[in-house]
Amino acid sequence: MSNKITKTVLQSPFIFDENWEGLLDNKDFVKVFLSDILEDYIVKQRWYGGKASRIKYIELSDYFRIQKDGEVYYGLILEIDFVEAFYHHYFLPIAFVTDKSFAEQDKILPIKINEQQGFIIDAINLEAFRKLVFERILYARPNDRTRVQYHKSDTFTNVVYESSRFLGLEQSNTSIVYNEKFVLKFFRRIYANKNPDYEMSCFLSDKKEFKNTPAYKGSLNIIGSDKEFISIALMQQMIPNQGDAWEYMLNELNRVFSDLDQKNIVVKSLPVHELYLRLKIEDVPKQISDWVGLDLFERIKTIAKRTAEMHIVLGSEFEETAFTPAHFNGDYTVWLKNRLLYQFQNRLNLIENNLHKLDGLTLELANEFLNNKNIIRKRLVNFDWTKLKGERIRVHGDYHLGQILVKDDDFYILDFEGEPESTIRDRKVKQPPLKDVAGMFRSFHYAIYATIFNNGKKYNQSQEILFEAAEVLYSYFTSVFLETYVAAILEANLNIGYNQERDFILKYCLLEKAVYELGYELNSRPRWALIPLKGISNIINN
């Protein structure tokens, strides 16, 4: 090892006899840093998505400077290779500090640089770094063509840095609140491509002025060593809110289920509505509206309207090829069928291996799934795409109640990164807009059953009756949503097919989504596997 870097024992600090600016040019330091230090740090971070796999080695894929005058930080692009023969890329900005006040979990490495004792830390923990990134975006030059590119919207003006803080505890990214007015999301897992969240935010907000999503304010991107465009951070307007629609719905549903007792409602006497049959609010039976309350149906109607407006905007582009509508074709069908067959077989194996963990209705539905596996497989792959006349567009891709903010009586859609399990390329594939509708319907289903699982002992009803009430609620929620959504889509002339095609695509997407959910539940909380299994049962029996 070079005599400029010494380390007597692992616990002792490194000694580096040159300036901080030359640290990453020293191959000996980089080798030890990657092999002996970073793995222990990274595996403890919330944003690290490889916890279920074993790290084989870590490489420094690329790095760049984030600097102004004499203030220098490094943005590391780390390639983490796994024993299971795949890899992830992560973004980690680093800073050198001499302040000992940082918490132990913030310190990556004790080190002495040019006679100064200090620590290497994740730079996002440092206010000076957060301020620098904010100001580099704020004062970004138009049409930046340098390797490290800062960009800002025309609306990001007349602002000065005042404060910054972390926005809660996120699972996959790190977001910073600035001035209590803006949010900068640092993407932690990164891709050699435009991040869909960055791409969709620019398109919806900056180009099309869609109002019900956080307004795009700026971004930090780099041009990688292979000339690929890499999204590093996204700046958006902060929307003051009362929480997300998931929490809102759970609170409302707790009231609804409590009212079964308070209003002496006999569930078996409630009028039944056919699943996925459009229904206007004024046609909701009085027994149902008296129980649930028209206000909740009005909120569902508003979510449906905002969803339709998002899709109308996404289907309105005819120049930018990434967003122009597309018809169904053979290539898309092959991609879809291959993807779903792999996923379906994976879920079949999971169910067979986890049957011993299931009981009651969940076990009954799991056996129904296994008994109907050939029917389900055929529904996933035996369709003729040439009969589908609707169009595909860019969609949200991971649409559920947790991706919507509640502000007064309105809703704002956010987080367009797409399904976490999907590749970046798959997340950008144009899909039927009803895929997002199916995602929201599955979220309604989850919210209803989550309320029962979390609060069931508080209600004076048997679980069987609560499950029966759940399906009644689900049928009315989805039908009211569908009426508002389809009416708005048809009025705007977005082509989602005729009635029969819409019904087929919706049920297809619901089946796909429920099969996807099944994997998570069987691996994480088998009791909740009831929810996707019931969703699958609804489709194959409807």
Residue 8 has pLDDT above 70, yes or no: no
> Residue 208 has what pLDDT?
96
| Dist CA 146 CA 375 (whole Å) | 55
CATH number of 129-237: 3.30.200
| Burial grade of 383 (CB within 10 A; 0-12, 13-18, 19 or more) | middle
What's the rounded mean pLDDT across residues 239-243?
A: 95
Q: How confident is the model at residue 12 (pLDDT cuts 50, 70, 90)?
A: low
Please give the helix or strand (H or E) that residue 81 lies within, else none: strand 71-82
Q: How confident is the model at residue 7 (pLDDT cuts 50, 70, 90)?
A: very low
Length of the chain: 542
> Which residues are registered as beta bridge partners of 404?
413
| Dist CA 229 CA 221 (whole Å) | 7
3-state secondary structure of 176: strand
Q: What is the pLDDT of residues 125-149, one digit of tens each?
A: 999 999 999 999 999 998 888 999 9
Q: What is the pLDDT of residues 173-232, one digit of tens each?
A: 999 999 999 999 999 999 988 999 999 999 999 999 999 999 999 999 999 877 889 999
| Dist CA 84 CA 292 (whole Å) | 49
Say which residue, 444 or 425, is predicted with more confidence.
444
Helix and strand numbers (H, E) in the chain are 15, 17
The residues, any chain, with a CB within 8 Å of residue 310's CB and separated by 6 or more, are: 204, 210, 212, 213, 396, 413, 436
Q: What is the pLDDT of residues 38-89, one digit of tens each?
A: 999 999 999 998 888 999 999 999 999 999 888 899 999 999 999 998 999 9
Q: What is the pLDDT of residues 338-385, one digit of tens each?
A: 888 988 999 999 999 999 989 999 999 999 999 999 999 988 888 888
**Contact yes or no for 130/161 (Cβ under 8 A):** no
* 97-102-108-114 Cα dihedral, nearest 10 degrees: 20
Q: Where are the domains of the chain?
A: 5-122, 129-237, 245-328+388-493
Q: What is the pLDDT of residues 31-43, one digit of tens each?
A: 999 998 999 999 9
> Residue 411 has what pLDDT?
98
Distances (CA, A) of 206 to 235, 271, 272: 12, 46, 44
Q: What is the pLDDT of residues 278-332, one digit of tens each?
A: 999 999 999 999 999 999 999 999 999 999 999 999 999 999 999 999 999 999 9
> Residue 226 has what pLDDT?
79
Q: Which of 6-20, 211-225, 371-385, 440-454 has the lowest mean pLDDT?
A: 6-20
- Nearest in space to 133 (alpha carbons), one of 222, 215, 206: 222
* 402-407-412-417 Cα dihedral, nearest 10 degrees: -40
Q: How confident is the model at residue 171 (pLDDT cuts 50, 70, 90)?
A: confident
> Residue 48 has what pLDDT?
93
- pTM to 2 decimals? 0.92
Residue 1 has pLDDT above 70, yes or no: no
Buried b (16+ CB within 10 A) or exposed e, 499-531: eebbebbbbbbbbbbbbbbbbebbeeebebbbb
How large a percentage of the chain has pLDDT more than 90?
76
In one letter, which amino acid is 221? Answer: N
- The β-bridge relationship of strands 404-407 and 410-413 is antiparallel
> Residue 2 has what pLDDT?
44
Number of C-alpha atoms within 13 angstroms, CB side, residue 419?
Answer: 19
> Which residues are registered as beta bridge partners of 244?
405
How large a percentage of the chain has pLDDT more than 70?
98
> Residue 351 has what pLDDT?
92
